[in-house]
Structure 1
């Protein structure tokens, strides 16, 4: 059986493409925001400060 090679874009590339698609047509591309949230949830842990939904004053 032959070897198969598949090129897969990195997470930052997928995130960029999802953001770009949404910016082009936000009313039609709402699924891209959900995909982006799912992608970010997999790369930033719940205990990571970058995942916080609140901001603090300096």
Structure 2
């Protein structure tokens, strides 16, 4: 019996999906790093709308 084209267990589902998982992890990491760089940039460091302004100011005093 074939269910969605999968025949018997163990079904190699993860093998064809590894590029998408790897790309997702890399994209998530790079976007988080870019966000951190943007939040800590000189233009937005002292912006009152920045939710990390207090944390950045506290780190700057050390």
- What is the TM-score of this pair, normalised by structure 2? 0.28
- Higher RCO (Cα < 8 Å, 6 or more apart): 1
The structure whose Rg is larger is 2
